[in-house]
């Protein structure tokens, strides 16, 4: 320790040196701007062009024309001058995420679309990603990484020559933490831009706060460990909630009517929800998914569908009381006129498992009535025969 | 928001390890068992979009992709391929995205991805003795399968050539570091040329010839050394 303290000033100096060599500021991207062929930015674009080409033909891309047009329209509403430079790919992945590449392609994961309650929330996410593009964050991040790692290589060499290699190691840690801090600052900047864009377009900014509150709830339910902040790429959700709340409060009364635009969002996404919910349950993170389902139900999503998926969740989790809860949920789903046909089948399978054979047969018959062209028709008929034979 | 390049770093290490391993094996190319090209016939070879990236190796060990170098390399490689193939009575043709329907473009992209995977598998299981597969160690019978027929129909070619190259050059800083470290007796890796090429029979999808490159020299940025790299890459091509 004493030895380390002696070198502390050196470490601090090195750290400051590493931070200062980070990067010079870059200007905002201009509409239609492409990088000079000889620049580092052109290299990044070329690399990402290749990745985009692969992504474009991936089977995980949601290709529905209406849904894609809907999302593009939001981009145009938020930032019309950059709309022609941005390409959005809706990727079927059941996690909450979106990302922006330096060459202008944005990935929007269906897990994020599932979690949004209204257009305002989606607009905030898209606005945040537009912020990354506008500020050319990838380029800046790359330069910070490149310059820091290169300087570190020489620092390590120099400290090794001086016989104090551990000073180089400590400096490395400080520098890596510095790169992460830089990334968090970029996220804060993108948050601010996302907020400004959504307000300008007439969306209610309090919806942005709700997203982070929702994510916090999910994290708590999943009992995920909190990330060690020194090496986190994003600021903590608590911080983002506070910042956005403050910004939103400052706005109260200063602007006109603000809206969440719930109806158009539901119209654009409702048909995809069953698929996205099935994907969600495949993650097998049931405690977190439960929060997602409850929230959707509270925010007015189709109760027949939501109750069915809640039943599915309990059936799949199969912990204490889950089977009982599952029966209750399916019953609630079936009580609705527009219940999905598969709810009858799930209920039938569950009743069979619980030994309620008559109920099981009745449910299977209801299923076949509701879905006479079901692909598993023969299978279900065989189940019915088997159950009726046993009952005789 | 994350940089894909950073995510790909582990893959770079895998390739680097492969590079170290394969540098020890003597024969670099493989020809399909019992393959004989048609005699007295001018073969038509479709050159698939070149999967090439040139980069600068920074002092810190990151690879910075270089668009201008890559563009120049593509031009040099195409002209060198043209010359070499004419010499063996074959004609080359490039893919033309403008004649491809979106569906054909999708299939071609999938084929390129498939080739990348199959090629990577060959590199591991054919070139690293420790990973030889019991059923494949004495033969060379890899294939992309009948799906290549769309290429045959579209371009009316006999073969398709897939080329994958990652080529890096030490920056000034990296060179200084190499010298500095060498004084201390430590070796620091410089730029490297690595990649693989295969010739695929468009009637069957079979890979009839496969070669790899893995070395610490060569330069694709200017015409003359690029021609040397192409000659090296085409070693053992049975046409």
Q: Six-digit token pair at B171?
A: 């920056």
Residue B166 near residue B194, CB atoms below 8 Å: yes
pLDDT digits (tens, 9 = 90+) for B20-37: 555 544 568 999 988 888
> Which of A300, A295, A202, A293 lies closest to A251, judged by CA?
A202
For A142, nearest residue in chain B (alpha carbons): B3
- Is residue A263 assigned to a domain? no
- Is residue A75 assigned to a domain? yes
Tell me, yes or no, whether A373 and A241 share the same domain: no
User: Residue B44 pLDDT more than 70?
Assistant: yes
CB atoms A42 and B68 under 8 Å: yes
- Is residue A257 assigned to a domain? no
Kind and range of the H or E run holding A167: helix A165-200
Tell me, yes or no, whether A176 and A102 share the same domain: yes
Task: Compute the nearest-CA separation of A130 from chain B (Å).
Answer: 11
Position A324 scores a pLDDT of 93
Q: What percent of chain B has pLDDT over 70?
A: 89
Chain A interface disruption, residue of B2, B3, B170, most A CBs within 10 A = B3
**What is the C-alpha separation between A388 and A27, in angstroms, rounded?**
74
CB atoms A148 and B61 under 8 Å: no
- Is residue A265 assigned to a domain? no
Mean pLDDT of A170-180: 82
A373 half-sphere exposure, CB direction, 13 A CA radius: 0
B21 half-sphere exposure, CB direction, 13 A CA radius: 16
Tell me, yes or no, whether A288 and A323 share the same domain: yes
**What is the C-alpha separation between A313 and A237, in angstroms, rounded?**
26
Total count of domains within chain A? 2
Q: Six-digit token pair at A60?
A: 């995980």
Neighbours of B183 (CB within 10 A): 9
Residue B199 near residue B161, CB atoms below 8 Å: yes
Q: Six-digit token pair at B124?
A: 């591991």
pLDDT digits (tens, 9 = 90+) for A68-116: 999 999 999 999 999 999 999 999 999 999 999 999 999 999 999 999 9
| B170 DSSP β-pair partners | B57
**What is the C-alpha separation between A103 and B5, in angstroms, rounded?**
14
Q: Which residues of A touch B3 (CB under 8 A)?
A: 138, 141-142, 145
Indicate if the alpha-carbon torsion angle A292, A296, A297, A301 is positive or negative.
negative
Q: Six-digit token pair at B100?
A: 């491809």
Kind and range of the H or E run holding A87: strand A87-91
User: Residue A257 pLDDT more than 90?
Assistant: no
DSSP for residue A235: -
DSSP for residue B26: S
Chain B positions contacting chain A at CB under 8 Å are 1-6, 51, 53, 55, 58-62, 64-68, 70-71, 105-106, 109-110, 113, 173, 177, 180-181, 184
- Is residue A159 assigned to a domain? yes
The DSSP result for A376-392, as a single string, is THHHHHHHHHHHHHHH-
Tell me, yes or no, whether A244 and A296 share the same domain: no
Neighbours of A246 (CB within 10 A): 11
Position A236 scores a pLDDT of 86
Residue that terminates a domain, selected from A204, A219, A250 = A250
- Is residue A211 assigned to a domain? yes
Tell me, yes or no, whether A242 and A274 share the same domain: no
For B5, nearest residue in chain A (alpha carbons): A47
Neighbours of A248 (CB within 10 A): 18
- Is residue A260 assigned to a domain? no
Task: Compute the nearest-CA separation of B3 from chain A (Å).
Answer: 7
Tell me, yes or no, whether A178 and A213 share the same domain: yes
Tell me, yes or no, whether A227 and A278 share the same domain: no
CB atoms B60 and A51 under 8 Å: no
pLDDT digits (tens, 9 = 90+) for A347-386: 999 999 999 999 999 999 999 999 999 999 999 999 999 9
Position B4 scores a pLDDT of 46
Read off the CATH number of the domain in which A310 is found: 1.25.40.10
Residue A165 pLDDT grade (very low, low, confident, very high; cuts 50, 70, 90): confident
pLDDT digits (tens, 9 = 90+) for A259-289: 788 899 999 999 999 999 999 999 999 999 9
Tell me, yes or no, whether A226 and A280 share the same domain: no
Cα-only R_g, chain A: 26
- Is residue A259 assigned to a domain? no
Question: Which residues lie closer than 8 Å to A252 by C-beta, 6 or more apart?
Answer: none
Tell me, yes or no, whether A307 and A244 share the same domain: no
What are phi and psi for residue A132, nearest 5 degrees?
Answer: -60, -40
Tell me, yes or no, whether A365 and A221 share the same domain: no
Question: Which residues lie closer than 8 Å to B226 by C-beta, 6 or more apart?
Answer: B73, B76, B77, B80, B219, B220
Range with the lowest mean pLDDT among A116-130, A164-178, A218-232, B111-125? A218-232
User: Residue B5 pLDDT more than 80?
Assistant: no
Tell me, yes or no, whether A132 and A220 share the same domain: yes
Within B27-182, strands assigned E span: 29-31, 43-47, 51-57, 63-65, 90-94, 159-170
Mark which residues 301-340 of A lie under 8 Å from B by CB.
none
Tell me, yes or no, whether A216 and A289 share the same domain: no
User: Residue B52 pLDDT more than 90?
Assistant: yes
Q: Six-digit token pair at B196?
A: 């693989």
Residue A1 pLDDT grade (very low, low, confident, very high; cuts 50, 70, 90): very low
Q: Six-digit token pair at A385?
A: 């025969």
Chain A interface disruption, residue of B6, B50, B52, B67, most A CBs within 10 A = B67
**What is the C-alpha separation between B140 and B221, in angstroms, rounded?**
33
What are phi and psi for residue A320, nearest 5 degrees?
Answer: -55, 135
Position A10 scores a pLDDT of 62
For B103, nearest residue in chain A (alpha carbons): A57
Instruction: Quote the domain boundaries for residue A43.
Output: 2-250
**What is the C-alpha separation between B32 and B30, in angstroms, rounded?**
7
Give the residue with greater pLDDT, A156 vs A369.
Answer: A369
């Amino acid at each position: 320790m004493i030895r380390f303290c002696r070198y502390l000033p050196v470490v601090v100096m090195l750290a400051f040196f590493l931070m200062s060599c980070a990067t010079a500021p870059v200007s905002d991207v201009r509409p239609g701007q492409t990088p000079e062929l000889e620049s580092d930015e052109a290299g990044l674009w070329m690399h990402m062009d290749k990745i985009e080409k692969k992504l474009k033909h991936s089977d995980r891309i949601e290709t529905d024309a209406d849904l894609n047009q809907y999302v593009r329209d939001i981009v145009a509403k938020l930032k019309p001058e950059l709309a022609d430079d941005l390409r959005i790919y809706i990727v079927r992945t059941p996690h909450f995420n979106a990302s922006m590449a330096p060459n202008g392609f944005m990935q929007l994961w269906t897990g994020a679309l599932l979690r949004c309650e209204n257009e305002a929330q989606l607009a905030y996410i898209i606005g945040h990603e537009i912020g990354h593009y506008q500020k050319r964050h990838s380029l800046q991040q790359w330069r910070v990484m490149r310059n820091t790692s290169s300087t570190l290589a020489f620092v390590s060499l120099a400290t090794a020559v001086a016989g104090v290699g551990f000073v180089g190691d400590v400096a490395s840690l400080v520098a890596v933490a510095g790169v992460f801090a830089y990334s968090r600052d970029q996220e804060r900047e993108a948050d601010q831009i996302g907020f400004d864009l959504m307000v300008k377009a007439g969306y209610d900014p309090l919806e942005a706060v709700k997203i982070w509150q929702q994510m916090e709830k999910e994290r708590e339910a999943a009992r995920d460990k909190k990330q060690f902040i020194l090496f986190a790429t994003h600021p903590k959700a608590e911080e983002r909630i506070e910042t956005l709340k403050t910004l939103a409060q400052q706005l109260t009364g200063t602007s006109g009517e603000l809206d969440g635009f719930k109806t158009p969002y539901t119209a654009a996404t409702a048909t995809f929800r069953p698929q996205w919910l099935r994907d969600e349950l495949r993650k097998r993170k049931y405690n977190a998914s439960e929060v997602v389902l409850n929230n959707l139900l509270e925010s007015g999503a189709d109760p027949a569908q939501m109750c069915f998926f809640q039943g599915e969740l309990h059936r799949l989790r199969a912990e204490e009381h889950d089977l009982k809860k599952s029966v209750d949920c399916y019953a609630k789903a079936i009580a609705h006129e527009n219940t999905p046909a598969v709810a009858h089948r799930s209920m039938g399978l569950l009743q069979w498992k619980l030994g309620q054979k008559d109920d099981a047969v009745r449910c299977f018959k209801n299923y076949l009535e509701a879905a006479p062209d079901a692909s598993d028709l023969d299978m279900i008929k065989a189940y019915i025969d088997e159950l009726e034979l046993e009952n005789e | 928001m994350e940089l894909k390049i950073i995510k790909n770093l582990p893959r770079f290490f895998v390739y680097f390890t492969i590079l170290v391993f394969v540098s020890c094996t003597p024969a670099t190319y493989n020809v399909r068992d019992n393959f004989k090209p048609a005699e007295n016939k001018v073969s038509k070879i479709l050159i698939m979009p070149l999967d090439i990236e040139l980069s600068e190796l920074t002092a810190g060990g990151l690879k910075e992709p270089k668009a201008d170098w890559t563009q120049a390399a593509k031009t040099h490689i195409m002209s060198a391929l043209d010359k070499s193939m004419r010499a063996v009575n074959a004609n080359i043709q490039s893919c033309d995205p403008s004649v491809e329907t979106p569906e054909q473009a999708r299939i071609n992209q999938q084929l390129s991805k498939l080739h990348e995977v199959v090629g990577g598998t060959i590199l591991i299981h054919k070139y690293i003795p420790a990973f030889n597969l019991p059923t494949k160690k004495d033969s060379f019978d890899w294939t992309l399968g009948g799906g290549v027929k769309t290429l045959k129909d579209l371009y009316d070619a006999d073969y398709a050539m897939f080329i994958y190259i990652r080529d890096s050059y030490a920056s000034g800083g990296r060179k200084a570091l190499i010298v500095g470290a060498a004084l201390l007796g430590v070796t620091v890796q410089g730029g490297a040329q690595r990649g693989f090429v295969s010739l695929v029979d468009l009637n069957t999808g079979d890979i009839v010839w496969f070669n790899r490159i893995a070395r610490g020299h060569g330069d694709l940025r200017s015409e003359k050394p690029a021609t040397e790299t192409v000659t090296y890459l085409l070693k053992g091509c049975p046409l």
